[in-house]
Amino acid sequence: MYDSLKSNWLFWTIFRKPSLSKFNKAVSGETENDHIPVYYFREVDQKHIYVSPGLQTLFSLPMENLISKELWNKALTKLTSKPVEEFPHVYHWDGGTDSRYLRLHSPSHPGQTGALIDVTTEISSALRLRYRLDYDQLTSLYTRPAFKRKVFDMIQRAPEKTGAMLFIDLDNLKHINDSKGHSAGDLHISQMARLFSFFSFFNGVVSRISGDEFAIYLHGFDDQESARRVIHRILSTGKTSGILYVASMPEEAAELDDKLAFSIGLAWYPSDSESLSELMNLADFAMYHAKKHGKGRLVEYESMQDRKTSIHSSDSEALDHVLAEGAVNFTYQPIYDLRTGRLAAYEALLSPDPQYYKSAFDLYSAAAEHGRLCEMESMLTCKLAKTYRQFASELDEAKLLLSCLTGEICTKPRGHCQVDEDIFSRLILGVTEWKLGSFDEISVKTAVYRRMGALIAADSFGLGDLFNAFQAGLHLDYLQVDLTLLQSLCGPAEEQQILERLCADASLAGSRVLV
């Protein structure tokens, strides 16, 4: 890894101690790389800083050999007052007509050279991509990954407050699409989005999570009744706008085919769950319960006591069987090292026994609701290891990858599964989005499996988070990129630029990129 770092221009630019002649050569604001300006600064004595001419021009400092430390500190304070969210040590410099993004590499001790690297091109590209990933193109509401990130941060800031998670499904969008065309359906979706966006005025986060499904989270209330008043106030506004919401008007349900209506499931934080993923699953479950028992109504998960007891018991029996017997199947697809183009691994795609669960999502939902994600994780890891042992000779140098790691901290990650360390070294375990917290929490989780010999991959984060995973301190052996997603978001030139940047950054972090 050290040899590969030494061959990288960025390593030498940042970490070497340049000679005085080299330093003077660089003070023009350019390094050996003509495309990325690197500006240098160094403390000469207790009162003066040597600043490269290019940086003097950028910061509008006096064009002098030495700048007073007081003047330099003012410029540096102005720069660091505008950090770029999710990009460590990157700041936005607004010089009026000259606006740039700069990555700061501070000297570790007095007399050492520091650097400011102009990363405007890569950060601008990443922010454009982040916007496309974060905002739905039709409605301009948050996408599902952005929604989860915003809600998690909101809860972290005030965990003692009450929150309401709403899942909403449009009841008759298919009828509108079939009878009036998809353009009419898109207009109705946009109309609903405008109604739901009013929740943002009450500290709400609003998302379109799929074609006709929306999610809304409200937080910061002292009690549930305060949140209910806000919810019903906004929904009643929709009624006056010609949108039919009939939670208290079941006699109007017969008219739903000709009106836009929606069903709502509601789950409460923290009384129903303190886990974001589980809270979303419970609201989703309550929403489908509302659709089954009449359109255009709101159902609260906590009000479904009898129904929950029955479902919980039945679901528990199915989960017992799946976990005990390993009643899941894998299908495999090849994945490749982006830099070398060689086959790196086969990704195992989870498919549960259909007589128990229809999809992997349903199985994970059940495991999360019953507090058995650790057992699930152990069962899947054990089954993957047995698969590798069975087909080791056919796999040759290729590894097996399975996205099965959740945010649940497991005291016995192997469970009762006895797996040799040499087999664990042939497994790549991907991090899923179930019960994920901060990158620090994920690091604690993945460190356990790394000590057991397994390799770690980032999967299901969404491309924007993937860019910053290793910069936030998460040690990853592999980064997975969904090329189909990337190609849908940008043109060929920008796609190439993003992939080149990702490969370079991954190389510095000792990681490989898989596609």
Give 311-358 as a 3 state SS string: HHHHHHHHHHHHHHHCCEEEEEEEEEECCCCCEEEEEEEEEECCCCCC
Domains and CATH numbers, the chain: 2-118 (no CATH), 136-303 (3.30.70.270), 313-514 (3.20.20.450)
pLDDT per position as a tens digit, 55-71: 998 998 998 889 999 99
- Torsion 231-237-241-242 (CA) sign: positive
Average the pLDDT over 417-442 and give the result.
70
Residues 274 and 285: their CA atoms lie apart, in Å, by 16
- 3-class secondary structure, 478: strand
Centre a 10 Å sphere on the Cβ of residue 38 and count the other Cβ atoms it contains. 24
Of 68 and 357, the one with more pLDDT: 68
* Residue 85 CA: distances (Å) to CA of 90, 123, 220, 372: 8, 11, 23, 34
pLDDT per position as a tens digit, 231-275: 988 887 765 454 544 333 334 434 444 456 788 999 999 998 888
Centre a 10 Å sphere on the Cβ of residue 286 and count the other Cβ atoms it contains. 27
CA angle in degrees (0–180, nearest 5) for 474-476-477 = 165
Partners of 102 in beta bridges: 91, 118
* pLDDT at position 423: 81
* pLDDT at position 252: 41
Of 19 and 187, the one with more pLDDT: 187
Residues 428 and 337: their CA atoms lie apart, in Å, by 13
Cβ-based neighbours of 314, under 8 Å, separated by 6 or more: none
pLDDT per position as a tens digit, 105-152: 988 888 889 999 998 888 888 788 778 878 988 899 998 888 988 998
Centre a 10 Å sphere on the Cβ of residue 481 and count the other Cβ atoms it contains. 22
Helix, strand, coil fractions of the chain, as percent rounded to 5: 45, 20, 30
